[in-house]
A and B are shown apart, each in its own frame.
Chain A
Amino acid sequence: MTPHILTRSLDRAATTFILIVAGLGVLIPLSNLLMPQGSMFQVPTYLVALWGKYVCYAILALSIDLIWGYCGILSLGHGAFFALGGYAMGMYLMRQIGSRGVYGNPVLPDFMVFLNWDKLPWYWYGFDKFWFAALMVLLVPGLLAFCFGWLAFRSRVTGVYLSIITQAMTYALLLGFFRNDFGFGGNNGLTDFKDILGFNVQADGTRCALFLLSCLALVIAFLICRAVVTSKLGKVLIAIRDAESRTRFLGYRVETYKLFVFTLSACMAGVAGALYVPQVGIINPSEFAPANSIEAVIWVAVGGRGTLVGAALGAVVVNYAKTFFTSGPLAPYWLFMLGALFILVTLLLPKGIVGTFNAWWEPWKARRSAGIAADEESAAREDGIGAPNPAE
């Protein structure tokens, strides 16, 4: 088994993945909007929203895989970045309600009215503008990740310790956002959104557009992750994952690398959260729950840690299972199945679905293909060492 086959086949897998996501992003909305209601070929709106949610989860899973699968940073608090992105978007949507709230106050969201607040807290300023909110979607999670990472990586908090303080972080945020005094709607969070950029959030067209956007975001996130992991930086990340102090002794500033991917990953999670909120229609503190973050890590493990396609696939598979099992006669038993799934995957498929598939598929294919020598050359080119392309 030569490694370049893996690399090349991943590339093929990557292309397939991008095409499938893009295809779904186009075909599902088309089917929903163009086909007649109730037709065999029409995807009902609730499925559009549902799959939109899965796609957002897939982006979150990608962001976790980037740091965990490639850099060995197990964050059990990534839900916090997701939720912060979601809150930033939620605040924008809240401001868009304007005077259509139940109390008809043109500026204050309903929950502030019934808490008798007389003016908007300063941190709500600016969220009436979409560009500001969009900026905050990236900035708030990014900044938190930067500060947190700067502290943690500089003092070399690693492994389990890091995982546990990320839990502490998301737990502290959970408690904070629960407080009504914080001005984010307490336990109820932000909900009852009306429109986004002037479009009704509940209209089929908006839902389809959001779905398309989510797919687009997934593709972009995927491409960014691919660009990162296939660059030399990706090799450094893997080096850090496998032998951190060795990397340090080679003269790499490990903390800077970790900080870079951690912040990048947090921004991606923030975007996922921001796309999630208008499709689900609510954002509240339970998104900060430590259990949510652990679950997201499990998606990655199920799909295949260290394979980007696997992470996205894992998110969709686990969540589809959740949707499927929480309805109907199986409902009382779904926690058994979910729990068993996690146990079985870690025991029997330690590489996850995609990782196991690769391990099984590649040798088989390698035996079939003959032109190994030619492949080796192309692999060397891909790795950028053998013959640098002057045209690039």
Chain B
Amino acid sequence: MNVMDTRATSAMLYLDGVHVSFDGFHAINNLSLALEPGEMRAIIGPNGAGKTTMMDIITGKTKPDEGTVLFDGSVDLTRLDETRIAELGIGRKFQKPTVFESQTVQDNLLLALNVDHSVRGTLFWRGSKGESERIDKVLETIRLTDARNRLAGSLSHGQKQWLEIGMLLAQDPKVLLVDEPVAGMTDVETHLTAELLKQINKNHTIMVVEHDMTFVRELGVKVTCLHEGSVLAEGSIDQVSSNERVVEVYLGR
């Protein structure tokens, strides 16, 4: 490693030797993973493999017991809290769609825009043309233009998933962590979501956690399979799904 270079790695997101345990249960066990800038990576793995916990670690919700977590090659994420990490440019979509249900779709996006997030800034906030144009654009991308004034709580499940992805877009982070984006979607919606993610990937780094193999296949990106808190296999979807151990883990043999 070059000492003179402040960037320890070229990776956008870099996890090395991460351990986390809850009351003796090893949720993450010597996990190492690197995401290159502009890459889209699909993470698969059975329940309890540590997928969501890994996202918790990256976004600062959970602090690892040991290990390195670097963002953009130089920023140590283990020392920062959620807000700071979000400000740096890591956005996250939750497993269960989490939108602000009692506010309108439009307001949801407005809240997500990466503008001044200080108390002063919001108290004396005035809308600008630029902001409303960006919101319009996002609304169009996520196909919710007609629903802009509806309460987010009244949206269908799939629409909520999209709204949350839209909020990520409005946030415009460098890295998007997307947890199960197509859970509960129809086939058509799933297909559209895959298209959406591919489109977003053009100028963002993305990490997708998903169970749906058809969807992962459709994304057509490098796949990492987690098991018991560490990486079991990595490669193209075909490589991974033909890996014996993966099959074993998935089928429980």
On whether A and B touch (CB less than 8 Å), the answer reads yes
Please give, as numbers and ranges, the residues of chain B lying within 8 Å of A247 by CB-CB distance.
Answer: 111
Point out residues on B near A: beta carbons under 8 Å: 59, 61, 82-83, 86-87, 91-92, 94, 98-104, 106-107, 110-112, 114, 117-119, 122-129, 131-132, 135, 149-151, 167, 171
Please give, as numbers and ranges, the residues of chain B lying within 8 Å of A236 by CB-CB distance.
Answer: 111, 122
CB distance from B77 to the nearest CB of A (A): 13
Contact A388 B126 (CB under 8 A): yes
Q: Which of B83, B92, B126, B127 contacts A254 (CB 8 A)?
A: B83
Best-surrounded residue of B110, B167, B171 (most CB of chain A within 10 A): B110
Contact B126 A376 (CB under 8 A): no
Which residue of chain A has the shortest Cβ distance to B153 in the bound complex?
A242
Please give, as numbers and ranges, the residues of chain B lying within 8 Å of A245 by CB-CB distance.
Answer: 61, 82, 98
Which residue of chain A has the shortest Cβ distance to B135 in the bound complex?
A385
Please give, as numbers and ranges, the residues of chain A lying within 8 Å of B91 by CB-CB distance.
Answer: 249-250
**A245 CA / B125 CA spacing, docked (Å):** 22
Check: A159 CB closer than 8 A to any chain B CB: no
Check: A35 CB closer than 8 A to any chain B CB: no
Check: A256 CB closer than 8 A to any chain B CB: yes
Please give, as numbers and ranges, the residues of chain A lying within 8 Å of B102 by CB-CB distance.
Answer: 238, 242
Contact B103 A235 (CB under 8 A): yes
Within 8 A of B (CB), among A354-390: 376, 379-380, 383-388
Question: Provided the pairs A231-B125, A246-B94 are in contact, do residues A239 and B86 lie with their beta carbons within 8 angstroms?
Answer: no
Told that A3-B149, A233-B123 touch, could you supply 19 new A-B pairs with CB distance under 8 A? A3-B104, A228-B123, A232-B110, A232-B111, A235-B110, A235-B111, A248-B82, A249-B91, A250-B86, A250-B171, A251-B87, A251-B171, A252-B117, A253-B83, A256-B119, A379-B149, A383-B104, A388-B127, A392-B126
Check: A348 CB closer than 8 A to any chain B CB: no
Which residue of chain B has the shortest Cβ distance to A7 in the bound complex?
B104
A-B contact pairs, 16 of them (CB 8 A): A231-B123, A233-B125, A235-B122, A236-B122, A242-B100, A243-B100, A245-B61, A245-B82, A246-B100, A249-B59, A249-B82, A250-B91, A251-B83, A385-B106, A388-B128, A388-B132
Point out residues on A near B: beta carbons under 8 Å: 2-4, 228, 231-233, 235-236, 238-239, 242-243, 245-254, 256-257, 260, 376, 379-380, 383-388, 392
Please give, as numbers and ranges, the residues of chain B lying within 8 Å of A256 by CB-CB distance.
Answer: 118-119
**A254 CA / B59 CA spacing, docked (Å):** 15
Contact B122 A231 (CB under 8 A): yes
**A346 CA / B132 CA spacing, docked (Å):** 40
Contact A232 B122 (CB under 8 A): yes
**A318 CA / B131 CA spacing, docked (Å):** 45
CB distance from B242 to the nearest CB of A (A): 36
Contact A385 B117 (CB under 8 A): no
